[in-house]
Amino acid sequence: MSSDLFVVNEEPPYLQGLNAAQREAVETVDGPLLVLAGAGTGKTRVLTTRMGHILQIGAAFPGQILAVTFTNKAAQEMKERVSALLGGQPVEGWWLGTFHSLAARMLRRHADHVGLSSNFTILDDDDQVRLVKQLMELQNVDQKKNPPKAIVAIISRWKDKGLIPSDVQGNDLNGDLDRLALSLYHPYQERLKSVNACDFGDLLLHMITILKDPKHSEILADYHRRFKYVMVDEYQDTNVAQYLWLRLLAKGSNNICCVGDDDQSIYGWRGAEVENILRFEKDFEGAKIIRLEENYRSTSNILSAANAVISNNSNRLGKELFTSDQDGEKITVRGLWDGAAEARWACEEMEALQSKGWSAGQMAVLVRTSFQMREFEERFIQLGLPYRVIGGPRFYERKEIRDALAYLRVVAQKNDDLALERIINVPKRGLGDATIQTLYAHGRAKQISLYDSIQDLCQTDELRPKVKATLMRVIDDFERWRSMVDNTAHSELAGTILDESGYLDMWKADKAPDAPGRLENLKELVSAMEEFESLAVFLEHIALVLDNQDNSNQPSITLMTLHGAKGLEFDCVFLPGWEEGLFPSQRSMDENGIKGLEEERRLAYVGITRARKKAFISYVGNRRMHGSWVNAIPSRFVEELPAGHVETQTETGMYSAARSVEVPSRSRHWDSSGMRTARSIESRPEIERVSESGFSRGDRVFHQKFGNGTIIHVDGQKLDIAFDKAGKKRVMDSFVTQN
């Protein structure tokens, strides 16, 4: 008998090299399947190999598989991998793409069922805002008090939850702005239909409406016959609308495979629902769960630390990452004096690693919030370390920072036309392009600056009275601010300008997810100014910073937020700012309670597991937050790190040299639910106490940052001090010396 007859019994090459759990996930073809894929466990390989396996064994043709990703890049990568797995042959008829691209493909076939034509237009964000503005004008709604952009964000939030106007109920409304948005929601949808358009949220929402409608049951039945298999990547990041759409389509064959990691669900702020993955077994009867726990990225010490932190979350399915690799170095946990010291220390460690042959291109600094980037950028520039900011511009290149700097430049030099043009209508003052061109034309004719041109034309009747009044107020503001330069601290002046100009209010009213971060960046800018002796010196420094060009041809240190780092990996990772209130974010906990805290912890887990070989975690004793110095305490996540897998270091003088770093105990600062207790925040009973270092109430002391003061209360190692100039502060006793 020819040996060729036995070739079919050989193991397919694409199955070779898979571990037992990966292979089980690939070969489990029928029925609902949830693949819990921990960080670095090869989920992409499993997903693409499973798709190729289905095609290879003839269980389905390419057009009978619905494969959903979150990015076009991921979809293209998946297509290329499957094609390579099948010997490089092109695979036609794919239903492979993002949620929106696949929903749009479907909607163009059935658009008439929701009052659209198949050639409908998909509006971008600007188009949506313009449409809402038109509706608000018709209803005489004040757009300053009710920003159109915020209305669009609320409507989009409802669409992400799968809610049409009639579905929105009282518990979906959070205040007057939501009620206004609801009154505009139906007219907004009708207006979209009248111009044969939809927004991104409609792509899924319209298809859910069609698929749920009993009158169109044949459409859903057709898709049930068409799709034998449904596969979904990053399932933990799905929102409600995406979940509803998937569930409707998968109910036909019940062959749905979702790959994801509940421990990496970190996008709740943009609508992702971790509950989608947690209730998978309830949604799909007979579901099988396979856990991918063997990690191919990180050392054992890094994984043990990540496992220990995430184990404190109760709302999870549970898994334990492990590796066959060596233990590697322990995670370094470092306590430092303040943010500047933190940046100095991190850069010193980076330089030391580079001297040992580590590449800057394999190092990353992952911050909780973007305002932390400034001190690192300043230090990188000072030392000449190449770096790149991923997911956004560098600190001083951000829109809000450039706007603020433009205001300061005009105060310092009134003839700075480029700066004045940038902010003359920011915030909106009703000055159109025609007005600006009139001002420039006059300036060119008279060979004077834009500022002087405004002053000239405000003395004539060239401009409409309303425009002239607006420009006069702008000039008056700048004249007043300029008169304050010599007798007002430049950082205080900057705060005054941002406040009186309405610039801060503009961002406070903005309901976009990035608006709070922009406000934090502005406060960081004002704080940074205190390090310079004058406004002129500061602006000169900024000019030099902005002149520092990024050399993209050489390996560069990556600087980015933790949210942006998901899916990436580096040999060495620095995780700064692990302090209560910053990380976990106090705002996240205040707004979302335990749910918010657990998402913050998942973010910590994501940060730790980005590191392949080495991880550094740091916190400081003093942090400039929202324009004020705060006496910080280490994050609860620091306490949750397992002692056997970390090495703790403390900056000399931050804590008493006679004792190791003190990490506050959970029992003293958090209740059983994991939230800060009122007692840890409110003042303690006023009884006479002596600190462990011998300080007592009434002692006069000196603090390096806050100056001289008098102790008014002692609580162990913590002192409440009334400083002569800085007011009441709480500090560690090791931070002060007795007068």
pLDDT tens-digit readout, 155-212: 999 999 999 999 998 877 888 889 999 999 999 999 999 999 999 999 999 999 999 9
**Tokens describing residue 330:** 């322990």
User: Across residues 528-549, what is the average pLDDT?
Assistant: 78
User: Across residues 550-570, what is the average pLDDT?
Assistant: 85
Predicted confidence (pLDDT) at residue 655 exceeds the cutoff of 60: no
pLDDT in tens, 88-138: 776 677 899 899 999 999 999 999 999 999 999 998 888 899 999 999 999
Tell me the one-letter amino acid at 251. Answer: K
Determine which one of 199, 233, 377, 600 is catalytic: 233
Predicted confidence (pLDDT) at residue 318 exceeds the cutoff of 80: yes
CA distance 122 to 293: 41
Reported confidence tier of residue 533, pLDDT bands at 50, 70, 90: confident
pLDDT in tens, 470-479: 899 999 999 9
Identify whether 191 is a catalytic site residue. Answer: no
Higher-confidence position of 545 and 118: 118
pLDDT in tens, 682-696: 332 333 445 555 788
Q: What is the per-residue pLDDT for 661?
A: 38
| Of residues 242, 236, 213, 195, the one with CA closest to residue 98 | 242
CA distance 468 to 457: 8
Got the DSSP string for 15-40? GTT--HHHHHHHH--SS-EEEEE-TT
Q: Write the burial class of residue 288 (CB in 10 Å: 0-12 exposed, 13-18 middle, 19+ buried).
A: middle
Identify whether 609 is a catalytic site residue. Answer: no
Instruction: Give the mean pLDDT of the chain.
Output: 86
Q: Where do the domains of the chain lie, and which CATH numbers do they carry? A: 3-106+206-292 (3.40.50.300), 122-195 (1.10.10.160), 295-394+550-666 (3.40.50.300), 402-544 (1.10.486.10), 683-739 (2.30.30.140)
Q: What is the per-residue pLDDT for 641?
A: 96
Q: What is the per-residue pLDDT for 435?
A: 83
Residue 238 in contact with residue 278, Cβ under 8 Å? no
Determine which one of 69, 264, 369, 558 is catalytic: 264
Identify whether 520 is a catalytic site residue. Answer: no
Q: What is the per-residue pLDDT for 489?
A: 87
Cis peptide before 664 (omega within 30 of 0): no
Determine which one of 23, 374, 379, 610 is catalytic: 610
Coil/strand/helix, residue 702: strand
Task: Please give the C-alpha separations between residue 390 and each of 39, 378, 557, 561, in angstroms, as whole numbers.
Answer: 21, 16, 10, 8
Reported confidence tier of residue 663, pLDDT bands at 50, 70, 90: very low
Q: What is the per-residue pLDDT for 376?
A: 93
Task: Please give the C-alpha separations between residue 96 and each of 91, 92, 470, in angstroms, as whole numbers.
Answer: 11, 11, 54
Q: What is the per-residue pLDDT for 437?
A: 84
| Of residues 333, 342, 335, 336, the one with CA closest to residue 301 | 333
Q: What is the per-residue pLDDT for 170?
A: 80
pLDDT in tens, 298-314: 999 999 999 999 999 99
Determine which one of 44, 209, 586, 648 is catalytic: 44
**H or E element at residue 631:** strand 628-631
Residue 366 in contact with residue 560, Cβ under 8 Å? yes
Got the DSSP string for 386-412? -EEESSS--GGGSHHHHHHHHHHHHHH
Q: What is the per-residue pLDDT for 670?
A: 40
Determine which one of 160, 178, 202, 234 is catalytic: 234
Minimum mean pLDDT range among 3-17, 302-316, 418-432, 725-739: 3-17
Q: What is the per-residue pLDDT for 726?
A: 77
Predicted confidence (pLDDT) at residue 27 exceeds the cutoff of 90: yes
pLDDT in tens, 589-633: 988 899 999 999 999 999 999 999 999 999 999 888 766 778 889
Predicted confidence (pLDDT) at residue 323 exceeds the cutoff of 90: yes
Identify whether 610 is a catalytic site residue. Answer: yes
Q: Indicate the Cα dihedral angle 623, 626, 630, 636, nearest 10°.
A: -70
Q: Rounded to 5, what percent of the chain is helix, strand, coil?
A: 50, 15, 35
Q: What is the per-residue pLDDT for 667?
A: 37
Q: Indicate the Cα dihedral angle 48, 50, 51, 55, nearest 10°.
A: 130
Task: Please give the C-alpha separations between residue 441 and each of 311, 420, 448, 470, 473, in angstroms, as whole numbers.
Answer: 66, 15, 10, 19, 21
Reported confidence tier of residue 554, pLDDT bands at 50, 70, 90: confident
Predicted confidence (pLDDT) at residue 491 exceeds the cutoff of 90: no
> Which residues contact residue 681 at a Cβ distance below 8 angstroms, ignoring those fewer than 6 apart?
none
Determine which one of 22, 41, 43, 228 is catalytic: 43
Identify whether 43 is a catalytic site residue. Answer: yes
**Tokens describing residue 570:** 């580096």
Predicted confidence (pLDDT) at residue 462 exceeds the cutoff of 90: no
